[in-house]
Amino acid sequence: MSTTLQRMADWAADLGPGDLPPRVRERILLQPLGLAGAVRTAAGWQGAAALGAGGRRGEAALVTGGRAPRREAARLHATLGALLELDDRGLGGHTGVGAVPAAWACAGAHEVDRLVVATAAGGEVAGRLGAALLLSADPARGRGAVTALAAATTAGLLAGLDAPTLAHAMALALVAPRRSGWREVLGGDGTAALATGQACADGVEAAGLAAAGLRGPLDLLDRGDGLLSSLSPAPLRTAFTGLGRAWLTRSLSWSIHPVAPPLQGAVQAVEEILARHVKAAEKRLRWDQVERIEVGLGAPGFALHGRAAGVAALGALGALHRLPEAIGRLVVGAELDPRALARDAAAEDGGPMSNEVAHVARRVEVHHAWPRTRDLVDHSVDVLGPLLVGLDLPTLRRAAAAWTSAGPGATLSSPVAVSWLLRLRPDQLLERLRYQSGDLADCRLDELQERLGADVVLHTTRGGSWRERRDGAVGSPGWPWQDTVERLLRRWGAGPEDAERARALTQASGPAAAWVEALLGRD
């Protein structure tokens, strides 16, 4: 009997351009553009110079100039892509930051179509691992494994590995994946992004090791004491079904602001209030006119806020996961500028909050909005029922206990917060799963939405109140697709001419190496 890794390798090795549905191909072509925009934005970070010390030797182009060996190029671009939380993500987590830099590094003499197929395969395979870990007590620990698996799959396909060898590349990538806990993620010093970059590099290297004859444990995802059990108290093994029929790529989402996904809706709500104030008063709201800002979040955002409050931020990147500081920067600066954040992170003093930002941050009050959590859980069970087959009350209790022992709060990114499930009549939720198929292809992925919204009330010192409700974030599933595309085009380049060049890159064909250099702004 074949193992999970072997079945995924067989599918990936047989995948061709004609197998990609149009909507999948459309998103896969936008993935590199979105990540290139994130990489170019973060290139001013102080660590970029150290990681991207390229020269004339090497197979892969660097955004910082010069060339480097594939492993180093993949590490640099994955690190920069993850640095500001601007990379794409889907139901299975942050797959693009593994697959796309690996594809860039291994572009070689391939055509763009070949890179598209390899990137799609890497995302689908790794996305299934990420989906299996959705109920992990600390999803951040599994991000390295997802990144490494995506990179190994993509790099292995571009290296021409056959299915048996590709399966070993996948296994080698998962033997010792880089793991960052939530404390590293929340530290704000860039170490979590460095771990992501290293995981991507390890995946590229795993493909080379497999090509050289090294073998890995193919049953790593099947054993009761294997990788899944080490990362989650309740692994969802149904996630590995539906290859070629369920496309996780269709669930891709892009962050528009440099903040963690559960906080996007709240930041965008405040941004809308500020814009409405300008229209009504014909001038910006000053930072000293903010009396109080009330923010209601569902379980993931509220849990992230609680965890971040208990961890000291070491630098400016702490604003990515700290809603009060992010809102403070937005109010004071009129926008949450990712390039400014990268520059602050590069400053010797770590870019501490200014007095004005701190003034606003102290006035942000965050509370848990039960209706949002109920809506999130109800939607997840309704749309993703087949993925959740096999859950029972003892499993949920075991998962909740693991979350409690992991520290305050619940999760950084999971769409279903286990600690709250036990307060929402889990018997009724589980009853709804009784007759589900257990096949990922039966999930209604085209209806999936990222229900990470927010309810915001901004009170001014003049006695006025401004309200805004967001059910989802800009750039997430359910948001108008064309608006997401236009925003990513503008991120890639500031001017109208740049936007047109970016648009052409989403419909590219021909030599992949030239396409990658154009994406990185090297042409």
Instruction: Tell me the Cα Rg of the chain.
Output: 22
Return the H-helix or E-strand segment holding 173: helix 163-175
Question: Is 495 within a domain?
Answer: no
pLDDT for position 232:
85
Is 388 domain-assigned? no
Do 336 and 267 contact (CB within 8 A), yes or no?
yes
pLDDT score at 418: 57
Q: State how far the Cα of 107 lies from the Cα of 515, in Å rounded to an integer.
A: 9
Query: Do 430 and 424 form a contact (C-beta atoms < 8 A)?
Result: no
d(CA 270, CA 172): 45
Dig out the tokens for 428 from the structure.
């009724």
* Nearest alpha-carbon partner for 231 in 301, 125, 121, 146: 146
Contact 313, 188 (CB under 8 A): yes
Question: Is residue 20 one of the residues assigned to a domain?
Answer: yes
If one counts every other C-beta atom within 10 angstroms of the C-beta of residue 163, the result is: 16
Determine the residue type at 191.
T
At 416 the pLDDT is: 45
Whether residue 206 lies inside any domain: the answer is yes
pTM of the model: 0.93
Gap between the terminal Cα atoms of the chain: 49
The answer to the question of residue 217 being in a domain is yes
CB atoms within 10 A of CB 480: 10
Helix, coil or strand: residue 294? strand
Angular region, 234: left φ>0, alpha ψ -120 to 50, beta rest: beta
The CA distance from 174 to 147, in Å, is 10
Q: What is the pLDDT of residue 346?
A: 64
**Which residues constitute the domain of residue 132?**
4-256+507-519
Cα(438)–Cα(493) distance, rounded to whole angstroms?
44
Angle 122-125-131 from CA coordinates, rounded to 5°: 125
DSSP tag of 409: S
Q: Are the beta carbons of 266 and 454 closer than 8 angstroms?
A: yes
Tens of pLDDT, residue by residue, the chain (523 residues) = 799 999 999 999 999 999 999 999 999 999 999 999 999 999 888 778 778 766 667 889 899 888 999 999 999 999 999 999 999 999 999 999 999 999 999 999 999 999 999 999 999 999 999 999 988 766 667 899 999 999 999 999 999 999 999 999 999 999 977 666 666 677 777 888 999 999 999 999 999 999 999 999 999 999 988 899 888 888 999 999 999 999 999 999 999 999 999 999 999 999 999 999 999 988 999 999 999 999 999 988 988 898 888 777 777 788 899 999 999 999 998 888 888 888 777 664 445 578 899 999 999 999 999 999 889 888 988 999 999 898 887 877 777 676 655 554 334 344 445 556 666 677 777 888 888 999 999 999 999 999 999 999 999 999 899 999 999 999 999 899 999 999 999 888 766 678 788 888 888 889 999 999 999 987 6
Of 54, 13, 33, the C-alpha closest to 100 is 33
Give domain status of residue 119, yes or no: yes
Q: The domain spanning residue 68 has which CATH number? A: 1.10.4100.10
- Residue 276 falls inside a structural domain: no
Cα dihedral angle (78, 84, 87, 89), rounded to 10 degrees?
120
Coil, strand or helix: which one is 88? strand
The helix (run of H) or strand (run of E) holding residue 120 is: helix 112-132
Task: Answer whether residue 360 is part of any domain.
Answer: no
Q: What is the C-alpha separation between 148 and 146, in angstroms, rounded?
A: 6
The total of structural domains in the chain comes to: 1
